[in-house]
Amino acid sequence: MSYETITLSPSEQQMLTALCPVVIGLGNYLGSGCEVALYRMDEPIRVVEIANGFHSGSTVDSPASSSLKSMLENLAPGEHSSHCFFTRNRQGTQLKVSVITIQGDTPERRIGALCLTYYMDQSLTEFGRTWFNSCTADDLSNPSGGFAPGIDALIIETTLEVRDQIMADPNVNASSKNRVIIANLAKRGVFKAKESVVTVAKTLGISRNTVYLHLRNLNGDPLQPTESLKA
């Protein structure tokens, strides 16, 4: 299907300009792990406003990536919708992407797209800083403060996510799975939280001593968590 280029009317340009503060606001609200970009659909498809663009290196007026450009150009004429999907970038980072098209002066005109890209390799500490009262790594491990609200549940969710990923990976030996799980949880900053070892052990159904053993071995193990996934 060929892509029909458009010329934005003054009112359509005003629509996109009015959405620029929304992009910045969403970027602040969702945190540094989410890149929020507004695109205009005339030729070439390019960025109007962007928040947290350091992830992709995009700035205002940067062209759309080839994959996003292809997706937008291949929508049916007049189709307005939101598309949410998981993918990976060239560095192998898993991304959760939502693309929302923007209608122009008439229903059949698509004048722009709002693209939210969440980078799933964000550490637990960074996630906590965004969603739990701007807590830092020190807050998470403060002996007098205990868990920040929701941190216990977040540790369990993260542990289950990593466990399922490793258990489904045929390249990881069965005897090494717990070690690789612990290594990846450590990389995400899970063990900076107080009592996290207890929570992880219960979630995985292993002893606290086993978790401590793997953590001690990590200190002198040259094998990094990302490399162990390929082992």
Tokens of 113: 């797209």
pLDDT over 60 at 149, yes or no: no
130 pLDDT tier (thresholds 50, 70, 90): confident
Mean pLDDT of 171-184: 90
Residues 39 and 115 occupy one common structural domain: yes
Tokens of 191: 């063990």
Tokens of 175: 């005897």
Q: What is the model's pLDDT at position 142? A: 46
Residues 133 and 197 occupy one common structural domain: yes
The pLDDT tens digits for 36-54 are 999 998 888 999 999 999 9
Nearest to 32 by CA among 137, 132, 122, 149: 122
Residues 104 and 163 occupy one common structural domain: no
Whether residue 201 is contained in a domain is answered as yes
pTM of the model: 0.58
Domain that holds residue 107: 10-119
Measured distance CA(178)–CA(169) in Å, rounded = 12
Q: Is 95 exposed, middle or buried (0-12, 13-18, 19+ CB in 10 A)?
A: middle
Tokens of 92: 């192998």
Q: What is the model's pLDDT at position 224? A: 42
- Write down which residue in 119, 140, 165 finishes a domain: 119
Residues 25 and 106 occupy one common structural domain: yes
Q: Considering the chain, what percentage of its residues have pLDDT values greater than 70?
A: 81
The pLDDT tens digits for 11-21 are 999 999 999 99
Whether residue 150 is contained in a domain is answered as yes
Question: What is the torsional sign of CA 8, 10, 13, 19?
Answer: negative
Within a 13 Å sphere around the CA of 12, how many CA atoms are in the beta-carbon half? 19
pLDDT over 60 at 2, yes or no: no
- Write down which residue in 89, 119, 149 finishes a domain: 119
Residues 160 and 96 occupy one common structural domain: no
pLDDT over 80 at 160, yes or no: yes
Radius of gyration for the chain, computed over Cα atoms and rounded to the nearest angstrom: 22
Is there a contact between 35 and 49 (Cβ–Cβ < 8 Å)? no
Q: What share of the chain is helix, strand, coil (3-state, %, to 5)?
A: 45, 20, 40
- Write down which residue in 78, 94, 119 finishes a domain: 119
Residues 196 and 179 occupy one common structural domain: yes
Residues 204 and 220 occupy one common structural domain: yes
The pLDDT tens digits for 131-143 are 765 444 444 444 4
Measured distance CA(40)–CA(37) in Å, rounded = 10
Tokens of 38: 């507004």
Q: What is the model's pLDDT at position 6? A: 83
Whether residue 2 is contained in a domain is answered as no
Question: For residue 63, what is the DSSP state?
Answer: B
Measured distance CA(108)–CA(217) in Å, rounded = 60
pLDDT over 50 at 201, yes or no: yes
Higher pLDDT, 109 or 122: 109
Residues 73 and 132 occupy one common structural domain: no
Rounded to the nearest 10°, the torsion over CA 122, 98, 59, 135 is: -30
Please count the structural domains in the chain: 2
Residues 141 and 105 occupy one common structural domain: no
Q: What is the model's pLDDT at position 100? A: 93
